[in-house]
Amino acid sequence: MQRFLFLFLLFAATSPVQAQLTLASLKVENQASPIALHTRLPRFGWQITSDKRGTVQTAYEIIVKDAKSTIWTSKVNTNISQWVAYQGPPLVSDHRYEWQLRVWDNHGRVSNWQSGFFMTSLFDISDWKAAWISSGLGSDTVNGTAPMLRKAFETKKKIQTAYVYIAAMGAYEAFMNGQRIGDSYLSPGWTSYQKRLQFHKYEVTNLVARGKNAIGAYIGSGWYRTTLGWVNHKNLSGSTTALMVQLVITYTDGTQETILSDDTWKAAESEIRFSEIYDGETIDDRLRKPNWATATYDDTGWTKVQVQNFPKNNLLPAENEPIRQHESFTPIKIFKTPKGELVADFGQNLVGWVRLKATGNSGTLIKLQFAEVLDKAGNFYTENLRAAKCTDTWTLDGRKDAQFEPHFTFHGFRYVKLEGYPGEITPENIKAIALYSDMEPTGSFECSDSLLNQLQHNIQWGQRGNFLDVPTDCPQRDERLGWTGDAQAFSRTAMYNFDSYAFFSKWLKDVATDQLPSGMVPWVVPNVLSPLNGGSAGWADAATIIPWNLYLAYGDKRILENQYSSMKAWVQFMQDKSKNDLWNTGHHFGDWLFYDVDNDTDGRSAVTDKYYIAQCFFIHSTQNVLNAAKILGNQPDIDRYTELLQRLKSAFLKEYVTPNGRLVSSTQTAYVLALQFDLLPESQRDQAAKFLVDNIKSYKNHLTTGFLGTPYICHVLTRFGYPAVAYDLLLQKTYPSWLYPVTMGATTIWERWDGIKTDGSFQATSMNSFNHYAYGAIGDWMYRNIAGIDHVTDEPAYTNIIIHPQPGGSLTRGSGILHTLYGKVRSEWTLTNDGTMALTVEIPVNTKATIHVPTSNIKNITDKKMPIEGVKDFEWKVTGDVGELRVGSGIYQFEIKK
């Protein structure tokens, strides 16, 4: 024991100090060890951990190597640790690179070297040697079967690595020697296919054998040719599905062999007899072809594929996270409804499908139908799904413990009705599987109010269910489209909950792609509706709002560079449609699904004037473009949009505001937008805020806002000195309010404030989704004001953090965590009976923070039970009754006496 203690002390005494400065989360283009980078000049990022407070990076050194030599080194004295640009020779297509990193800090320490790797994708069309192939089967139609394609091949050397590139017109599920390739679903995802068709790269080194092999794939219609929208559109991108495969095998002797999709492949019908996004999937196991993707399978009866002359110039590597399987749910109850239907309740409204096990005679037909809610009598309810059948069928082939799981569909559901199940079903035989884009969770919120915690749960599950490669409005009925208005309203909340950088940056490229030459932005992206369905205020403004929010959250100037032309084009569209700087033309959704009093005798709940809303968002988008121009250093555009902004605000005041500061639409949304977007002179803002509060009080602290006013209302109230009113709205339990659906058992956000009425009846079946995330935009306010995590606008990506929890209502505790690019930010507070606030704060290395505390006397504050007055870690400032502590990185445990 003494010898061990001696060695320990010796090691501690001789260990270098740099061991206390460590590196983590090494990323390239915000991806950990990517194997398919889509740029020749990538950017690096990393996080730093330290045992010392106030740690800041002072320098970094990066070394990049290929298989033969070092190709770039860079040592720079800077605190920049994200979006660090590679400046070596352009990277080569389909290559692997190693990189090493070390950093220095302001305490005189240097970290150990940390290593990572990245691989490039196929950069050029000429890199594709494979051909597009399709099944050529007569049954391979939008309402027909999903074919199987396969090829056998042989390798004769020892394999070092194997990677496969797969592209599809349609959706694919690929296999190598009987094993599934990758864990993504509905690949290659949903884009504006005619101009942007994604492909994926997978490592299959462990799946390819020396000797005989086989590769194959199912091909389904997916979003490519399925019916989309409510107008029975089919084959929107093409009527023929196709596959392209390029398998690159590198042998240990350094040679390579490439297996390509070509006319040597074969095709056959599969057991997937029908597969469609809205209607579900039909599988007949009697038509299974066991081991069809293995080398020993006899494909003599299969037919030759057709080589297609489809374009390749729209191909691009996938840059966002794929859809993957996530949580699985066991039924909380399996029961018979009053109508005698067999129903499984999974306790959570989710998006995905059911994995079912069964044993029965060959030919036994099992039918599964999906629904979000039960009616007031407790019966299975599907009327709100409209024309979507949302039904899977499975025919057994007589095997014991057979398993069903779909391939190319998904459902939004909590309840599943089963018909034809052989024997008694048990919870062990049925699971619900959640599918959504594999975004990394970044935010969590929790407080002393259980209803607010459930609201946060509902917000996050609404995002999971609707972030299925594109930000959909809803996941269950015959719609499921990328509505721009919903996406922009929720975008900031989305970026708290999950790392949404890649998800939104990919979708924004489709926004720009589908934007018309006039600058008009469609209602939905990808645009599967009419080209003329677009240009609505608050919807099309996604083109400016989301890029700016992305920049604020992640600090990537390239987002603004990529979207700048699109942002400007949308503002130009509004200018072209305006007269005398007023945009008062065109179709607009307005404050969609706002609350309306049935007996509106005094006009207080009148619809907010749609042209008023249009002018508000015209100004807001112009401000966003001006912001982007400043970041990008475009002085001519700074001058142009500064002048335009002044004109637009002047026109707004003349048209919509009285000299006393009243608005032509005396609604909550009207006042909220005017105050949120700084449309009023400062002399009129306090009076307008009072008008807003008076309106709220007249409705006994209830909301009357819709999709466009709701995201901002609590922010406006807090900003203008009414945080108590914001809490009154948030904690309101009766309709219309955020918590009303929670009291009615909601597990996701509803489309309507009263999707289920107090008597148990439903709102209009034509539009009544129970998984619709737009009203979940209140999550942004909860993170920024209850947990108190925000950042200085001029210093994006949480490099200058604001910690400002503002307790209110009946809350005695609140906490939030946000994993930023630089590391974990934590704010956790508790109020005691004597008014003392315990506040724990965590600030990551290489950032700083301003912590707002509810006292103007520094003597009232301790950190880890020690007075902070005079301690060098803290810079103190007082503004009114509030103190501000400016700190560097570290963990702080404050007590603030009243």
Residue 665 CB contacts under 8 Å (≥ 6 apart), including other chains = 606, 607, 608, 609, 612, 656
Q: Are 556 and 501 within 8 A, CB to CB?
A: yes
- The yes-or-no answer on residue 884 being catalytic is no
Q: What is the DSSP string of 828-881?
A: EEEE-TTS-EEEEEEE-TT-EEEEEES-S-GGGEEETTEE-TT-TT-EEEEETT
Both tokens of 371, joined, read 């629904």
Torsion of CA 745, 749, 753, 756, to 10 degrees: -40
Amino acid at 662: R
How far apart, in whole angstroms, are the C-alpha atoms of residue 750 and residue 773?
Answer: 7
How far apart, in whole angstroms, are the C-alpha atoms of residue 47 and residue 82?
Answer: 8
For 185-212, b where at least 16 C-beta lie within 10 A, e where not — what string? Answer: bbbbbbbbbeebbbbbbbebeebbeeee
- Tokens 């070394």: give the residue: 63
Rounded to the nearest 10 degrees, the angle between the axes of helix 557-576 and helix 542-554 is 160
3-state secondary structure labels for all residues of 726-791: HHHHHHCCCCCCCHHHHHCCCCCCCCCCCCECCCCCECCCCCCCCCCHHHHHHHHHHHHHHHCEEE
Q: Are 496 and 783 within 8 A, CB to CB?
A: yes
Q: How many residues does the chain have?
A: 898
Strand-strand pairing, 837-843 and 875-879: unpaired
Q: Are 233 and 528 within 8 A, CB to CB?
A: yes
Which candidate, 480, 483, 490, 446, places its Cα nearest to that of 710? 490
- The yes-or-no answer on residue 479 being catalytic is yes
How far apart, in whole angstroms, are the C-alpha atoms of residue 606 and residue 586?
Answer: 20
Amino acid at 435: L
Q: Are 161 and 203 within 8 A, CB to CB?
A: yes
Catalytic residue of the set 319, 321, 479, 842:
479
Reading phi first (left if > 0) and then psi (alpha if -120 to 50, else beta), residue 874 is in: beta
Q: Are 849 and 801 within 8 A, CB to CB?
A: yes
Q: Are 132 and 170 within 8 A, CB to CB?
A: no
Give, for 631, the enclosing helix (H) or strand (E): helix 610-632
Both tokens of 305, joined, read 């594929």
Phi, then psi, of 379 in degrees rounded to 5: -95, 160
Within 51-203, strands assigned E span 57-65, 70-76, 84-85, 96-105, 114-119, 132-134, 147-155, 159-169, 171-176, 179-180, 197-203
Q: What is the DSSP string of 382-403?
A: -GGGTT---EEEEE--S-TTEE
**Could you tell me the CA-to-CA distances from 146 to 214, 362, 441, 498 in Å, in that order?**
19, 22, 34, 34
Other beta carbons less than 10 A from residue 184's beta carbon: 24
SS3 4: helix
Both tokens of 638, joined, read 């700074």
Catalytic residue of the set 269, 751, 828, 842:
751
Other beta carbons less than 10 A from residue 124's beta carbon: 9
How far apart, in whole angstroms, are the C-alpha atoms of residue 267 and residue 58?
Answer: 60
Paired strand residues for 162: 249
Q: Long-range contacts of range 732-740, CB-CB < 8 Å, 24 or more positions apart?
A: 732/701, 732/702, 732/703, 733/451, 734/702, 735/702, 736/595, 736/702, 736/703, 736/704, 737/702, 737/703, 738/455, 738/703, 738/775, 738/778, 739/451, 739/452, 739/455
Q: Are 112 and 18 within 8 A, CB to CB?
A: yes
Positions marked catalytic: 479, 751
